[in-house]
Amino acid sequence: MKAKINNIMSTELFLPIVSLILVLIINIIKTPNFFNITIQNGVFYGYIIDVINRASELVILAVGMTLVVASSGGTDISVGAVCALSGAVACFILSGGEVSTSVYHSPYIVAFVSAIIVGLVCGSFNGFLVAKMNIQPMVATLILFTAGRGMAQLVTNGQITYIRVESFKMLGNSVKGIPLPTPVFIAIAVVILTFIILKRTALGLYIETVGINNKAAKLVGLNPVLIRFIAYAFCGLLAGLAGMIVSSRVYSADANNAGLNIELDAILAVALGGNSLGGGKFSLLGSVIGAYTIQALTTTLYAMSVSADQLPVYKAIVVVIIVSLQSKGFQRIIKEFKLKRKVEKVYEK
């Protein structure tokens, strides 16, 4: 029995899951109706649904970010700007350059594919700079971080472009007859697909290898440049997809605010998932749980009516607690404490 518990506690997902449960437990005490789920207009309705719905973009970005972090030991800080850019391009194509439209000026699929391609191109650009040119990831992605929103503004001519067509809202809201919001399914699909790709092929292993030791990876015949490039390109592609969801939610492209600061949350999700930001071994599911934890925290604070000016403080406190719980230093303290007790027991005997 004890061995079993120890076994569970030592798995890499244990601490991220505990963090998520901790956040949720606060709700059982403070706002008991947090877990109520009813059906409204044929769609599930409740705080928990809000959490998994609103976290979708973050989950998608966290998946891409995990691979970037694992393969290069750096972060892609341009994902938020890429979201804005891909959304802007999609809305521009659909609106035909108008500020507000109630009919598509081009087929939806063209806009959707373009948005994904924009993401992919941005990701490839980052990948080229990081993998091929060996520029530090934060510096390389800083380029699109600054220029991305500027380009999005150019595309939308600085205005918020509205697409007031019902089918455009489907991706970010819910489709008639399906009881859960669409982003939830997309996020889950992305996670499952990525998981299968990483596990069925050796790519996951390659990414870890490159992240742990670039030179050794080269010596065993891997191509670190290509693997890193793939990670960044994939991250960009997912940012393009997330950008489409963000725009669809508000049926508009807002170059200034779409995906604002979401790159920081994505990096935090990776860290909360118990992944080392130094690269190497990674847990995709850890990051996904991290992303849901962040959104659960935000929704919890809303539900508890924490006043707006104190909101960041509470968020910071919880994040500090979670991150330190998972830190190596804290785990060492616990280990030493356990050892001490063991020694004491032996001594007593």
φ, ψ of residue 163 to 5 degrees: the values are -115, 100
Return d(Cα 346, Cα 320) in angstroms, integer.
36
Nearer to another protein, 34 or 282 (CB): 34
CB of residue 256 to another protein, shortest distance in Å:
5
Nearer to another protein, 88 or 203 (CB): 88
Residue identified by tokens 């891909």 is: 86
H or E stretch at 47: helix 47-54
Nearer to another protein, 24 or 198 (CB): 24
DSSP string, 175-234: -TT-SS-HHHHHHHHHHHHHHHHHHHSSHHHHHHHHHH-HHHHHHTT--HHHHHHHHHHH
Q: How many other β-carbons are positioned within 10 Å of the β-carbon of residue 272?
A: 27
Nearer to another protein, 15 or 79 (CB): 79
Nearer to another protein, 106 or 153 (CB): 153
CB of residue 290 to another protein, shortest distance in Å:
19
CB of residue 233 to another protein, shortest distance in Å:
18
> Residue 200 class from Cβ within 10 Å (0-12 exposed, 13-18 middle, 19+ buried)?
exposed
CB of residue 28 to another protein, shortest distance in Å:
16
CB of residue 80 to another protein, shortest distance in Å:
13
Summarize as ranges the residues that interact with another protein (CB under 8 A).
31, 33, 40-41, 43, 45-47, 50, 54, 99-100, 129, 133-135, 139-140, 143, 146-147, 150-151, 153-154, 157-160, 162, 173, 246, 249-250, 252, 254-257, 260, 298-299, 302-303, 305, 307-309, 311
Give the count of alpha carbons within 13 A of 187, CB side only: 29
CB of residue 98 to another protein, shortest distance in Å:
12
Nearer to another protein, 113 or 138 (CB): 138
Nearer to another protein, 154 or 285 (CB): 154
CB of residue 139 to another protein, shortest distance in Å:
7
Cα separation of the two ends of the chain: 24
Quickly count helices (H) and strands (E) in the chain.
16, 5
> Could you tell me the sign of the dihedral formed by the alpha carbons of 214, 216, 218, 222, in that order?
negative
> Residue 17 class from Cβ within 10 Å (0-12 exposed, 13-18 middle, 19+ buried)?
middle
